[in-house]
Structure formats: structure tokens, C-alpha cells
């Protein structure tokens, strides 16, 4: 990683993490950040380039950039947004980290709204939805007014709110989970940051991997009802010609959703730098060198991803981690097999961290997991799965009862903030 510029702000309230993988044509968000109605020292701007390009689109706004880093990944690797999220997390200094589009428009109250939301309730993960306009005459970006973006060509404006905000039946697909996600930095570190599993390589997934696990960690998912982002059309905005990991046919990651349903909080594959921050008193400067480990990223090469025979050899032929004896078994980038408890009630990192184990082969993993059960159960794996499921359901029922009585932290919820 090469730092072109490093923030000198000491105690920003908010750290904005903006990503590029040598594809962004415009960084006009920086223009709107210069118009905020809150003191500039309240927020820092971090730009992360996955490859080595020094983007000309940033140069007109470089006075608005506090940290500018090039990960300098080789061109033969597919991009992995989650690695960039983790780099931003390590480099950030703010109380709240914000992952959002760098080619979107925001109002002057954008940063103030985020600060006030966390002052009101620090135990949230906040999302802002996005108005999207498909008029092609706004491209190249021509700084239209907010009224113009909300007018002709806007596909999701319903009387000043997005269709997604009004949709309570299928919010996962109706709302733009990748537009803007905000969470406390210490919460993001507590859940191990963004998951760098190979299922998240390329276009599929985004910050909602962390949203789902933050909810499992006990944070409340909130969508703001009066503050939005504004996006205009540009070529390739739907991820054309990008690698797509496993998804449900509508570009929502099935691996991320499985983590939400299982109650898991920690990543399937945790970045080593973030793990050090989570488990020790290490400072960010001490772990920057651990962000990119060659032995972990070698399978992101295009030749591995695009060759079915090599994917089969790597054990990546399945879209989802293997569920076995109440655990999730997945293949890590270093070729080992790792299991983590597939617990419905895993609301704390400690619960899952204590169950995390690693083996050299899949058969070794299965044999070890079977050995934990009584002999009369080992002869039939379906009986083991039934046994574990019954125990988890009972455990989860107890937690829900405690929540209803006010004894424990509230279960998963999705709320609104206006």
C-alpha cells in the first residue's frame, strides 16, 4: 500500500471511505462535501484505489481529500471491495465510519445528519437510501440541481421519499444497501470488519455484509427517512462485465444473507490487520503492513476465478459454506478448512470466536466435529443436525423470552429515523 496523502485531522467525528478500482470517471461527491453545513474538522475523507491508478478525476478536489491510498494490487487480480473497506477501517480516525458512493450528490446537511443520528442512538447501523435518475443527458456529470434529479427520469421518487423506504415487504431488494452505510468504528472492529471470503470477490455484496453481522451483534438497523443520496446515470453502473459471486438472482449475496440468518457476527475470513485491532491493543499504524497477505489473496487471480477446473481444485464449487453438525465449514484462502458455530443466538463475537477451528482437509474437519457428539449420535449425521438444531431453537427461544421481558438486548430490528 502506498500513501499519497495522510490525514492530519486528530479527532474527526466521521470518516468517509470512498472506493475506486480504476473505474471511477467522477468523484463529484467531493464537491458536495465542500458545501457541508458542519465544521470541516468534524469529518475526514479517505480515498482508496485498489490498483495503482492516480485518478485525474480526484485532482480538482484533492484539497477535500485527507487520506489517499493506493493498494497497488496487481492488475491480474479481481477487485475485492471488502479489502478496501478494511483498509479504510484501519486508516480511519473517526468515531463513525461511512461507506458510500463517490459519484453521488448529497445535501449540505449530509454529515450533520449522520452525526446527529449517532448522538441520538449510538447503538445503530445507519443507512441512507438513494434517488436514482436514468436520464443520460446528465452524463458526463453536469451538476444538475437536486430538483432535476428528483424530476423527469427519477425511477424511485414517491412524493419525496424513495420507493425502498416505503417498501416494508421486501426492503432487502427494494432499498439500496450499497449507497451509504454508517456504523461506529469500534463496532466494525468488534465484528472483525468486512468479510474477505472469496464469495464477495467482484461486484456482489458490499457494506451490507457488515450491516447484517452488526445486527447479529446487537445493533439496530435504521434507515433515515428524510436524508438521501442522489445518483445520476453513467455507463456500467450495474456492474457490467464484472465477476459476480453467489447471489439470489437479484444481486443480493446469498453468503451475506446466510450469515444474517445464522446469527454469525465474525467474518468467514477475517483480515489479519483488523483481527489484531480487535484482539489486542495494537495501533492502526502497527498493523497496516498486515492488510494484504499474499498467501490469502492468491486465489483472487483472474485465472483461478475464471477456470472451473481450478475452482473445483480449490474447493470453491459450492455457492455456500457447508453446513455440517451445527457448524459452517468454509475454505480459507490459504487452503485450509475452517468451521464456526452456526448458532441462531450468536449475538457476540466471543461466542463464535471460541468455536472457530481450522483443519487441513475437509474430512478431518468433519471427523473432528462428529467426535464431539455421543457415540449413539455419530452413526447418523442427520440425527446430529437435528440434535443441534433443536438445541439452537431452544436457546434462541430463551433469548427471545428474555428480550421480551427486558432482560437481554433486543433481537434483530429494522427501524426508521426521520
Examine the pLDDT at 9 and tell me if it is beyond 70.
Answer: yes
Using the predicted structure, report yes or no on whether residue 413 has a pLDDT greater than 50.
no
Structure confidence at residue 244 (pLDDT)? 87
Q: How far apart are CA 42 and CA 33, in angstroms?
A: 12
Q: At what angle do helices 81-91 and 272-279 cross, to 10 degrees?
A: 40
Beta bridge partners of 70: 2, 49
CA distance 172 to 257: 10
Q: Which three cell numbers stand for residue 398?
A: 430463551
* Backbone torsions φ then ψ of 168, nearest 5 degrees: -105, -5
Q: What is the pLDDT of residue 264?
A: 84
For the chain, what's the residue count? 418
What distance, in Å, lies between the first and last C-alpha atoms of the chain? Answer: 40
pLDDT category of residue 393 using cuts at 50, 70 and 90: low
Q: How far apart are CA 14 and CA 3, in angstroms?
A: 20
| Over residues 361-386, mean pLDDT | 71
Residue 390, pLDDT score: 65
Does the pLDDT of residue 257 top 50, yes or no?
Answer: yes
Q: Where are the beta strands (DSSP E) in 83-197?
A: 96-100, 124-127, 130-133, 157-158, 161-162, 180-184
**Strand duo 2-5 + 14-20: pairing:** unpaired
pLDDT at 408 over 50: no
SS3 333: coil
Stronger pLDDT, 253 or 316, i.e. the higher one: 253
Name the average pLDDT for the chain: 84
pLDDT digits (tens, 9 = 90+) for 36-69: 999 999 999 999 999 999 999 999 999 999 999 9
**d(C-alpha 338, C-alpha 274), whole Å:** 18
| Number of Cβ within a 10 Å radius of residue 265 | 26
Residue 102's pLDDT is what?
93
Residue 337: pLDDT band with limits 50, 70, 90: confident
What is the rounded CA–CA span in Å between residue 413 and residue 404? 13
DSSP codes, 291-320: S--HHHHGGGBHHHHH-HHHHHHTT--SSS
In 12-127, the DSSP E strands lie at 14-20, 43-49, 67-70, 96-100, 124-127
Other CB atoms within 10 A of residue 312 CB: 10
pLDDT of res. 258? 81
* Largest pairwise CA distance in the chain: 71
Q: What does the pLDDT read at residue 348?
A: 35
Domains of the chain, start order: 2-284 (3.90.550.10)
Average pLDDT over every residue of 343-363:
54
pLDDT score at 318:
41
As a whole-number percent, the residues of the chain with pLDDT over 70 amount to 78
* Residue 336 in grid coordinates: 485450509
pTM of the shown model: 0.81
Long-range contacts made by residues 115-124, C-beta under 8 angstroms, separation at least 24? 115/13, 115/14, 115/38, 115/42, 117/182, 117/222, 117/224, 117/417, 118/182, 118/184, 120/417, 121/220, 121/222, 122/184, 123/218, 123/219, 123/220, 124/183, 124/219, 124/220, 124/221, 124/222, 124/415, 124/417
pLDDT tens-digit series, residues 149-164: 999 999 999 999 999 9
Question: For residues 305 and 307, what is the distance between their CA atoms, to the nearest angstrom?
Answer: 6
How distant, in Å, are the alpha carbons of 65, 68, 106, 114, 376 from that of 35?
A: 14, 20, 9, 15, 68
pLDDT classification of 363: cutoffs 50, 70, 90: confident
- pLDDT of 280 higher than 60: yes
* Residue 176: C-alpha distances to residues 35, 60, 416 (Å): 24, 28, 15
**Burial group, residue 136, by CB count within 10 angstroms (0-12, 13-18, 19+):** exposed
Dump pLDDT digits (tens) for 220-248: 999 999 999 999 999 875 555 578 888 88
Q: What is the pLDDT of residues 305-333, one digit of tens each?
A: 877 666 544 444 443 457 677 676 776 65
Question: Pick the residue with more confidence: 128 or 298?
Answer: 128
Q: What residues does 105 pair with on adjacent strands?
A: 230
Helix (H/G/I), strand (E/B), else coil: 228:
coil
Q: How far apart are CA 228 and CA 61, in angstroms?
A: 22
Average pLDDT over every residue of 286-290: 93
pLDDT digits (tens, 9 = 90+) for 103-141: 999 999 999 999 999 999 999 999 999 999 999 999 999
Amino acid at each position: 500500500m502506498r500513501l499519497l496523502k495522510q490525514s492530519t485531522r486528530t479527532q474527526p467525528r466521521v470518516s468517509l471511505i470512498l472506493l475506486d478500482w480504476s473505474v471511477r470517471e467522477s468523484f463529484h461527491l467531493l464537491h458536495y462535501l465542500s458545501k457541508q453545513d458542519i465544521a470541516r474538522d468534524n469529518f475526514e475523507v479517505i480515498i482508496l484505489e485498489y490498483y495503482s491508478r492516480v485518478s485525474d478525476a480526484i485532482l480538482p478536489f484533492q484539497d477535500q481529500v485527507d487520506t489517499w491510498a493506493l493498494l497497488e494490487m496487481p492488475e491480474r487480480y479481481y477487485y475485492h471491495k471488502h479489502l478496501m473497506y478494511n483498509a479504510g477501517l484501519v486508516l480511519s480516525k473517526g468515531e463513525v465510519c461511512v461507506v458510500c458512493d463517490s459519484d453521488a450528490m448529497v445535501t449540505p446537511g449530509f454529515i450533520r445528519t449522520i452525526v446527529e443520528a449517532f448522538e441520538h442512538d449510538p447503538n445503530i447501523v445507519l443507512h441512507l437510501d438513494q434517488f436514482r435518475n436514468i436520464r443520460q443527458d446528465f452524463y458526463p456529470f453536469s451538476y444538475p440541481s437536486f430538483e432535476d434529479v428528483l424530476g423527469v427520469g427519477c425511477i424511485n421518487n414517491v412524493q419525496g421519499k424513495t420507493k425502498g423506504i416505503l417498501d416494508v415487504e421486501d426492503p432487502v431488494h427494494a432499498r439500496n444497501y450499497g449507497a451509504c452505510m454508517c456504523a461506529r468504528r469500534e463496532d466494525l472492529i468488534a465484528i472483525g470488519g468486512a468479510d474477505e471470503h472469496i464469495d464477495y470477490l467482484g461486484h456482489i455484496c458490499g457494506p451490507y455484509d457488515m450491516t447484517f453481522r452488526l445486527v447479529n451483534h446487537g445493533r439496530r438497523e435504521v434507515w433515515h427517512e428524510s436524508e438521501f443520496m442522489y445518483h445520476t446515470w453513467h455507463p456500467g453502473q450495474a456492474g457490467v462485465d464484472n465477476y459476480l459471486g453467489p447471489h439470489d438472482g437479484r444481486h443480493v449475496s446469498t453468503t451475506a444473507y446466510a450469515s444474517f440468518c445464522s446469527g454469525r457476527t465474525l467474518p468467514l475470513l477475517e483480515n489479519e490487520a483488523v483481527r489484531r485491532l480487535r484482539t489486542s491493543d495494537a495501533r492502526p499504524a502497527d498493523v497496516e503492513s498486515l492488510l494484504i497477505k499474499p498467501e490469502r489473496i492468491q486465489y483472487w487471480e483472474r485465472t483461478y476465478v475464471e477456470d472451473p477446473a481450478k475452482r473445483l481444485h480449490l474447493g470453491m464449487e459450492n455457492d455456500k459454506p457447508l453446513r455440517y453438525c451445527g457448524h459452517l465449514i468454509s475454505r480459507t484462502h490459504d487452503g485450509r478448512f475452517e468451521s464456526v458455530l452456526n448458532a441462531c443466538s450468536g449475538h457476540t463475537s466471543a461466542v463464535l470466536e471460541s468455536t472457530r477451528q481450522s483443519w487441513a482437509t475437509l474430512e478431518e474437519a468433519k471427523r473432528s466435529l462428529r467426535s464431539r457428539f455421543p457415540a449413539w449420535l455419530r452413526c447418523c449425521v442427520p440425527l446430529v443436525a437435528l440434535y443441534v438444531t433443536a438445541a439452537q431453537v431452544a436457546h434462541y427461544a430463551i433469548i427471545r423470552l428474555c428480550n421480551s421481558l427486558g432482560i437481554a438486548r433486543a433481537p434483530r430490528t429494522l427501524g426508521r429515523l426521520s
